[in-house]
Amino acid sequence: MQTSSPVSVAPMMDWTDRHCRYFLRLLSPSALLYTEMVTAAAVVHGDADRLLRHSDEEHPVALQLGGSDPDWMAQATAMAAKYAYDEININVGCPSDRVQSGQFGACLMARPGLVADCYKAMQAETDAPVTVKSRIGIDDQDSEAFLRAFVEPVVAAGCRKFVIHARIAILEGLSPKENRTVPPLNYERVYALKRDFPELEIVVNGGLTDLESVNAALEHVDGVMIGRQAYHQPYFLAELEAHFDSTWSAPTRARIVERMLPYVEQELARGTTLNSMSRHMLGLFAGRPGARAWRRYISEHAHRPGAGSEVLINALNAMPPAARPDTMHAPGKNDRIQHGT
Ligand SMILES: Cc1cc2nc3c(=O)[nH]c(=O)nc-3n(C[C@H](O)[C@H](O)[C@H](O)COP(=O)(O)O)c2cc1C
């Protein structure tokens, strides 16, 4: 396991589930992968094993918890301990109404003392670092001073790592989706925070979609978190990995599919549907010839009853011959894609 990568993949509800993370890990051996947000209440009162279990292959993996009750956050952290997460992250960035009615997410930026209490209670329950993901501000609280006033008490409580989505959250009037596009990005605010607290690990997030923007950010902060681009164009992660680790050569996209097959078969045998895994793979060929055929074949076939791993092989074969990444043949019992390198 490598943990020194400056790259992480953002927590994304309904997207970065364990199947998605397994797939992304094939594209990036070292990026830190965040789970979807799981509420502390759901862990404490719900099916904790379903919410927390993951594959060993996913490491390094961080659990993101949502909540604001220090006792519940601590209990959820203690319950997560046996799942060996590499980091536990507190969600202080989500602006959705549902989250706000639970008094957590981005609205907690106005209550740094409570975030500090959560941090302390959680860190007492785990050896893994407890970290915070926030915005740069909320509503009209859009200043360096506000961000600093948020961070200071949490740092005083012992927190050493902050992931900052470089835009404010508007708590009323914008949907979560609009809150990821409408407030402008302000990387400089995050860079200023790093200058103010050079001893902290600061990770910047928001709108990083190419190597150039990633490299520019890394001149100022310690790490970059990639969200939508990692989901819609997952091969970007392989390009980043190859950039930061010159000893690693990126497998072809077809090889990634091949390496996914044993996992898919194992999960199918456990009753997982193909669609719940393959839906995360739709963007694998994004921007390449044949991408549409790949997506279309999977979208049309993966949800059918009894759909198995052959759908993925057939999807590769459905790509126009000129676009086909490798030579493939029809799947048989022990058959695989022929050339995956
Ligand atoms: C579908 C989706 C779900 C998200 N769910 C979460 C979440 O559970 N917790 C969180 O902190 N942020 C969540 N986010 C925000 C991302 O973590 C990230 O901060 C945001 O997308 C900006 O990064 P990007 O421009 O690289 O996508 C979500 C974003 C998307 C697109």
DSSP-assigned beta bridge partners for residue 161? 201
Distance CA 192, CA 178 (A): 25
Q: What is the pTM of this model?
A: 0.94
Q: Kindly list the catalytic residues.
A: 94
User: How confident is the model at residue 125, as a pLDDT?
Assistant: 98
- Give distance in angstroms: CA of 227 to centre of ligand 1: 6
User: Which one of 12, 98, 131, 282 would you pick to mutate in the ligand 1 pocket, going by the greatest count of ligand atoms within 8 A of its CB?
Assistant: 12
User: How confident is the model at residue 325, as a pLDDT?
Assistant: 61
Nearest CA to ligand 1 atom 14: 12
Backbone angles phi, psi at 28, to 5 degrees: -150, 100
Domain residue spans of the chain: 7-244, 253-323
Grouping H, G, I as helix, E, B as strand and the rest as coil, residue 158 is coil
Q: Residue 341: pLDDT above 50?
A: no
Angle at 41 between CA 156 and CA 130, to 5 degrees: 30
How many percent of the chain have pLDDT more than 70? 94
User: How confident is the model at residue 97, as a pLDDT?
Assistant: 76
- Give yes or no on whether 7-244 and 253-323 have one common fold: no
Q: Which of 56, 96, 54, 48 is nearest to 72 (CA)?
A: 48
How confident is the model over 250-303, as pLDDT tens digits? 999 999 999 999 999 999 999 999 999 999 999 999 999 999 999 999 999 999
User: How confident is the model at residue 330, as a pLDDT?
Assistant: 40
In one-letter notation, the amino acid at residue 7 is V
Using an 8 Å Cβ cutoff, are 131 and 89 in contact?
A: yes
Pick the CATH number of 7-244 from 3.90.79.10, 3.40.50.300, 3.20.20.70, 3.20.20.480: 3.20.20.70
Query: Could you give the count of Cα atoms lying within 13 Å of 152 in the half-sphere of its Cβ?
Result: 8
CA distances from 128 to 87, 177, 187, 323 (A): 5, 31, 28, 45
User: How confident is the model at residue 98, as a pLDDT?
Assistant: 73
For all residues of the chain together, what is the average pLDDT? 93
Instruction: Select the more confidently predicted residue: 330 or 128.
Output: 128
Average pLDDT over residues 122-136: 98
User: How confident is the model at residue 2, as a pLDDT?
Assistant: 40
Q: Is domain 253-323 classified as CATH 1.20.120.1460?
A: yes
